[in-house]
Amino acid sequence: MKLVITTQHRENYGAHDWDGTGSCPQYWKCKGGNVYVVRDLSAKSVAKIRRDGIPNLEKLISINDESWQEYIIGCDIVEDDAFECEEWDSVIEFRFVGGRWTCVRVRDSLCESWVPGPAGERSDYKSEMMA
C-alpha cells in the first residue's frame, strides 16, 4: 500500500508590490499543486494513518504566508499499482530515513532531494543530472 497526497498551490499577486506596511492586498490565484507519495506502507502504518491522519506530514507540506499557500486537498491510501499523477507531472516521494523525512523528486533527467521542514522549509537540498 501507499499514501498519495495531492496539494493545491495559491499565489497572492497582491503581495508582489506590497511594501510590508498595513494589510497585504489579497489577490489569490490557484497555481497547480504537488503529488506526494509514501510507498511501502505496513499494515500498522495504514492503521495509524486511518486512525490519526497525517499531522506530521501535513506540517512539512503546508505553507501559509502573505504571498504563497500550499495545502492538502486529497489524501488516499491505495494499492501499490494505483494511479499517482498525470504523465506531465512528477511525484515527490517522502522517505523516512535515519529518523527523519526526506523528499526525492525526479523530473526529466534531474533528481532533486531535500529534508523538508515546517512550513515548506528545505534543508540539505541537492540536485543532480542523471545519465
Ordered by start, the domain boundaries in the chain are: 2-19+26-129
At 59 the three-state DSSP class reads helix
pLDDT higher than threshold 80 for residue 98: yes
| Short-list 99, 6, 97, 10, CA closest to 54 | 6
Q: Give the Cα separation of 131 and 117 in Å (integer).
A: 30
Q: Looking at residue 20, what is its pLDDT?
A: 86
Q: CA 86 to CA 129: how far, in whole Å?
A: 22
The one-letter amino acid at 20: G
pLDDT at 96: 93
Averaged pLDDT for residues 100-126: 93
Question: Whole-model pTM above 0.95?
Answer: no
Average of pLDDT values for 2-24? 93
